[in-house]
């Protein structure tokens, strides 16, 4: 392998204490070395840390005769193949390696991501031919947030972060930039229009406008999730353009022209769809990316014209107003939850729902006369749902306060009564209170959703219900509902 001489020190910067290869690891390392060009191997045991598992994709034409850029993907639930499949089409065209972890996670009390990334980096620098200046990190939600920390620990090696559904972990990136440090990586972010972290990602983009860090943010329809494949492809292509601008990659003039043409076509499509504000954002991006690299004069003219458009200015002002209002509402919700934690006598469910303004938000979410207001309400509801279903109840349960956890789950049911995560969380909390009847009532809604019965069978939180005949009957109904319906006569 023709690697950068310093690359063998990269993994140590991520996580300290990685051991050398064991006999079991040597077998796994051979499996990594045997991955064929153009193919995916779905599960490899790390030779550096045999507790780690990951999937690997090598692009067509891969060989040790040159060094290749590499994308390390970390899904917040360890679903390694989800981001690998998402990024593979672009990796195939651009010639990138992908390595994706089964051990990555978010929302854990002790993050496993340093060990997961450290093992992947350590393994590929020994077993593959990679470009030590072009490591890329891709994450979603908590793993996107943590990627900023890893990029700071790997200066001169991480060339870019692709992060969806989250901002930065803290103020440290901005503190370093204010201290005069120029980031050595680029950032491509994004969030769904109904993502509860949408405004956070948008605010991050605005803050980065005043920094030297090259960045781009894309919106897409949907809730808190990985971006769809076209956005993932755009992210990788944008990173390739940034690498060309920084002298980290060589691409022909024809290739650069094709990237400019694709970016222009995306902006023009926004105009054609009467989304002139979205088109303005796109054209501004083209100027930032291609000015000085290719002829960006047409995009500059579009920016000037759209910036002067009164409707565009009004929509930008309306979006800014809603963002300010939403920030105030989010602060109010936080105050309500703080009061709940501090009061000796918790309020009733109806009082909590009223104080959070849930019914008004649900009405606004259905508005057809104001799309921006409807999306804003949906994001706030999603934020409330995340807290009342997961984060809040988990905190109370950790402190042995199941009744207060159940109160939050009651508020979650007021938002989305048939959401399977709400039903499941309510059931497991009722189990902790030894309310078996209420637990089975909560589990009923799972019959209407594609739930894995095997998970319910082995879930320790549901163990007290398994001796009850109703549990077997429930699993049978879930399995029956999952079967495809018989064709109509």
Check if the beta carbon of residue 104 is closer than 8 Å to that of residue 76.
yes
- DSSP 8-state secondary structure symbol assigned to residue 166: -
Q: Give the separation between CA 11 and CA 63, rounded to whole angstroms.
A: 23
Q: Is residue 477 scored above 70 in pLDDT?
A: yes
Q: At 218, which helix (H) or strand (E)?
A: strand 215-220
pLDDT surpasses 70 at 14: no
Query: Six-digit token pair at 476?
Result: 């049978």
366 burial (CB, 10 Å; 0-12 / 13-18 / 19+) is exposed
Residue with structure tokens 């929302």? 107
Q: Which residues of 110-127 are buried (b: 16+ CB within 10 A; e: fewer)?
A: ebbbbbbbbbbbbbbbbb
Token pair for 202:
């948008």
**Average pLDDT, whole number, for the chain?**
90
pLDDT > 50? residue 1:
no
Q: Which of 133, 112, 121, 116 is nearest to 9 (CA)?
A: 121
Q: How deeply is 202 buried, as exposed, middle or buried, from its count of CB atoms within 10 A (0-12, 13-18, 19+)?
A: middle
Q: Which helix (H) or strand (E) holds 445?
A: none
Token representation of residue 125: 């620098």
pLDDT value of residue 481: 82
The three-point CA angle 177-181-184 to 5° equals: 100
Residues of the chain above pLDDT 90, percent: 79
Q: Tell me the sheet residues that pair with 98.
A: 57, 71
Which whole-number Å values give the CA distances from 127 to 63, 98, 121, 308, 360, in the listed order?
Answer: 12, 14, 10, 55, 57
C-beta separation of 177 from 212 below 8 A: yes
Domains of the chain: residue spans and CATH: 7-251 (3.40.50.1820), 253-308 (no CATH), 312-482 (1.25.40)
Residues 249-270 pLDDT 10s: 999 999 999 999 999 999 999 9
Supply the DSSP symbol for 367: -
**pLDDT number for residue 483:** 66
Q: What value does the mean pLDDT take over residues 162-173? A: 93
- Provide φ and ψ at 19, rounded to 5°: -85, 175
Q: How far apart are CA 55 and CA 254, in angstroms?
A: 33
Instruction: Name the residue with higher pLDDT: 276 or 1.
Output: 276
State how far the Cα of 417 lies from the Cα of 409, in Å rounded to an integer: 10
- What's the pLDDT tens digit per position in 384-397? 999 999 999 999 99
* Encoded tokens for 64: 């040790």
Phi first, then psi, for residue 278 (nearest 5°) are: -60, -35
Q: Which residue(s) pair with 130 in the sheet? A: 68
> What is the arithmetic mean of pLDDT over 471-479?
92
pLDDT tens, 346-361?
A: 999 999 999 999 999 9
Residue 358, C-beta contacts closer than 8 angstroms, at least 6 positions apart: 381, 384, 411, 414, 415
Confidence check: pLDDT of 277 > 90? yes
Angle 142-153/113-127 helices, nearest 10 degrees?
60
Distances (CA, A) of 133 to 160, 193, 247: 10, 34, 11
């Amino acid at each position: 392998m023709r690697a950068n001489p310093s690359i063998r020190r990269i993994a140590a910067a991520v996580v300290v204490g990685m051991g050398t290869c064991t006999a079991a690891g040597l077998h796994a390392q051979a499996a990594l070395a045997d991955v064929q060009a153009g193919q995916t191997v779905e599960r490899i045991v790390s030779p550096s840390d045999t507790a780690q598992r990951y999937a690997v994709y090598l692009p067509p034409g891969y060989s040790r005769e040159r060094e290749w850029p590499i994308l390390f993907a970390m899904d917040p639930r360890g679903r390694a193949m989800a981001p690998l499949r998402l990024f593979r089409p672009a990796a195939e065209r651009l010639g990138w390696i992908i390595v994706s972890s089964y051990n990555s996670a978010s929302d854990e009390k002790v993050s496993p991501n340093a060990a997961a990334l450290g093992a992947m980096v350590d393994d590929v620098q020994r077993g593959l031919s990679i470009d030590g200046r072009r490591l890329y990190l891709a994450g979603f939600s908590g793993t996107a947030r943590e990627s900023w920390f890893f990029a700071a620990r790997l200066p001169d090696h991480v060339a870019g972060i692709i992060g969806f559904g989250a901002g930065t972990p803290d103020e440290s990136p901005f503190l370093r930039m204010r201290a005069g440090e120029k980031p050595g990586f680029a950032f491509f972010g994004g969030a769904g229009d109904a993502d509860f972290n949408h405004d956070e990602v948008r605010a991050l983009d605005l803050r980065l406008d005043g920094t030297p860090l090259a960045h781009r943010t894309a919106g897409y329809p949907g809730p808190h999730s990985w971006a769809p494949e076209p956005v993932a492809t755009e992210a990788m292509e944008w990173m390739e353009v940034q690498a060309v601008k920084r002298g980290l990659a060589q691409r022909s003039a024809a290739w650069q022209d094709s990237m400019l043409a694709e970016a222009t076509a995306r902006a023009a499509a926004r105009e054609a769809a009467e989304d002139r504000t979205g088109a303005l954002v796109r054209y501004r991006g083209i100027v930032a990316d291609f000015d000085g690299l290719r002829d960006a004069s047409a995009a500059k003219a579009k920016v000037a014209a759209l910036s002067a458009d009164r409707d565009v200015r009004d929509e930008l002002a309306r979006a800014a107003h809603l963002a300010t209002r939403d920030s105030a509402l989010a602060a109010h919700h936080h105050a309500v939850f703080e009061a709940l934690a501090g009061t000796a006598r918790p309020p009733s469910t109806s009082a909590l729902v009223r104080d959070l303004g849930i019914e008004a938000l649900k009405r606004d979410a259905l508005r057809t006369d104001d799309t921006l207001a409807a999306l804003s309400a949906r994001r706030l509801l999603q934020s409330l749902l995340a807290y009342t279903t997961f984060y809040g109840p988990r905190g109370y349960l950790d402190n042995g306060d199941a009744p207060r956890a159940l109160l939050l789950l009651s508020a979650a049911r007021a938002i989305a009564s048939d959401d399977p995560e709400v039903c499941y969380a309510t059931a497991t909390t009722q189990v902790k209170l030894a309310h078996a009847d209420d637990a089975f009532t909560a589990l009923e809604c799972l019959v209407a959703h594609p739930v894995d019965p095997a998970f319910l069978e082995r879930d320790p939180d549901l163990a007290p219900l398994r001796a009850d005949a109703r549990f077997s009957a429930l699993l049978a109904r879930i399995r029956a509902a999952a079967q495809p319906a018989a064709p109509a006569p």
